[in-house]
């Protein structure tokens, strides 16, 4: 019998990486995620529903912060030394994000060191690490002048005994219906049989080479666009009361159009899609959206022009009317950054999930949105999805990572 391939998911979020690894045949040991909202989603789907983790008795099944795990369970972690195949995950990276204000002194950036300490204690055979594109940018104020953060991390992991290779990958090239470029890093323990720098580097070539076959088996292709992903979720299909929020209306499923939708809807019997709750736009907003959609017919997937901003006195920095026949731009955690391509509204949580390749059986927990000061504490459904790794990509990675062992 083949030995089970196990992993620990650090900064697990709502489970996009874990779901993909689950589908690729990996077994989770446990996941560390500090947001109670995101953890609830992970727990509901992967811990309770799929029984995907062999959760150890010594670790509570709840939202935990990585440094408190390192502090309180160090002796338990030391017992795992050499027994876990992989440590996966990507530390939150708002300090490097291109979408926010980049700040190398953002405290969240220091979580990278916590990640590295975790690796040093557990000594997995391989490492899989994901972060935003900005992670490869140089920080000018840095003491090691002009060294990109990614090179520092690569160096630290090299010192910790791993052959490491990192590069930028666009998930849109792997069948995900959005253009989303992220920094992916893979490491292999130097003392493993057949381990080498070339082997670490081969991950990216194998991933690229395998994608056509992988997608073909699922009946998919690389070109999947927004319409392929969400055209069965129109508001025009009809409305029903939202099960978990009765004062809101949810959309009912339209006819399945194409294999991507078929795959996403596999195993779902309901007439209402989970988390497909429509926002309550005022008549003024609906009218404005209608006009913007009309006026941007030839200019989609781009921020609205200064002219349109002034015309409708829009103060928001980003408003992007989406293009049905293209992949979406990278979706952020702010749903009001986008206007649906043919209905005068923002996208629903379920449409967000489809763009990120979460199947419809995957149910999101917690609030839909949040605002004001709570933005820094709460991780509502849109944010959980906006921060996730698309499961369709992590499944492909999981298959190639198996070959590295």
Q: Can you tell me the distance from the alpha carbon of 44 to that of 386, in angstroms, rounded to the nearest whole number? A: 19
Contact 188/199 with Cβ under 8 angstroms?
yes
Choose, from 8, 21, 69, 93, the residue flagged as catalytic.
Answer: 93
The number of helices, as runs of H, and strands, as runs of E, in the chain is 14, 11
With 0-12 CB in 10 A as exposed, 13-18 as middle and 19+ as buried, what is 254?
A: middle
SS3 of 165-229: the string is: EEEEEEHHHHCCCECCEEEEEEEEECCCCCCCHHHHHHHHHHHHHHHHHHHHHCCCCCCCCHHHH
- Half-sphere exposure for 252 (CA within 13 Å, toward CB): 7
Asked if 190 contacts 164 with a C-beta cutoff of 8 angstroms, the reply is no
Per DSSP, 138 falls in state B
Catalytic, 14? Answer: no
Q: How many Å is the Cα radius of gyration of the chain? A: 21
Do 56 and 82 touch, CB atoms closer than 8 A? no
Q: Which residue has the tokens 């090299």?
A: 158
The closest alpha carbon to 253, from 268, 275, 273, belongs to: 273
> SS3 for 10?
strand
- Alpha carbon distance 134, 59 (integer Å): 33
Of 357, 284, 355, nearest to 323 (Cα)?
Answer: 355
The span from the CA of 258 to the CA of 226, in Å, is: 12
Residues recognised as catalytic: 93
């Amino acid at each position: 019998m083949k030995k089970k391939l196990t992993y620990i998911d650090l900064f697990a979020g709502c489970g996009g990486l874990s779901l993909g690894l689950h589908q690729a045949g990996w077994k989770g040991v446990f996941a560390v995620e500090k947001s109670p909202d995101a953890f609830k989603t992970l727990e509901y789907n992967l811990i309770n529903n799929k029984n995907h983790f062999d959760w150890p008795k010594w670790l509570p099944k709840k939202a935990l912060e990585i440094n408190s795990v390192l502090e309180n369970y160090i002796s338990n972690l030391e017992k795992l030394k050499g027994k876990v195949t992989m440590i996966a995950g990507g530390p939150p990276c708002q300090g490097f994000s291109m979408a926010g204000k980049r700040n190398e002194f953002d405290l969240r950036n220091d979580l990278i060191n916590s990640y590295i300490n975790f690796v040093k204690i557990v000594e997995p055979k391989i490492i899989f690490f994901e972060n935003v594109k900005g992670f490869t940018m140089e920080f000018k104020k840095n003491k090691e002048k002009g060294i990109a953060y990614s090179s520092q991390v690569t160096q630290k992991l090299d010192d910790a005994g791993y052959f490491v290779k990192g590069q930028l990958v666009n998930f849109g090239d792997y069948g995900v219906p959005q253009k989303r470029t992220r920094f992916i890093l893979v490491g292999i323990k130097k003392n493993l049989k057949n381990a080498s720098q070339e082997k670490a580097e081969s991950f990216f070539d194998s991933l690229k080479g395998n994608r056509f076959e992988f997608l073909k088996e699922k009946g998919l292709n690389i070109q999947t666009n927004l319409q392929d992903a969400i055209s069965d979720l129109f508001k025009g299909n009809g409305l029903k009361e939202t099960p978990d929020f009765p004062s809101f209306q949810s959309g009912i499923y339209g006819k399945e159009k194409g294999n991507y939708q078929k795959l996403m809807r596999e195993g779902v019997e309901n007439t209402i899609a989970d988390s497909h709750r429509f926002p309550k736009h005022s008549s003024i907003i609906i009218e404005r959206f209608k006009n913007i959609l009309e006026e941007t017919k030839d200019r989609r997937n781009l921020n609205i022009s200064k002219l349109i901003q002034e015309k409708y006195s829009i103060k928001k920095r980003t408003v992007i009317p989406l293009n049905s026949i293209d992949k979406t731009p990278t979706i952020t955690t702010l749903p009001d950054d986008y206007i649906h391509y043919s209905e005068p509204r923002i996208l629903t949580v379920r449409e967000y999930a489809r763009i990120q390749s979460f199947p419809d059986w995957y149910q999101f927990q917690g609030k839909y949105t949040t605002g004001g000061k709570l933005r820094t504490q709460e991780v509502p459904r849109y944010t959980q999805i906006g921060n996730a790794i698309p499961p369709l990509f992590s499944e492909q990675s999981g298959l190639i990572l198996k070959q590295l062992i």
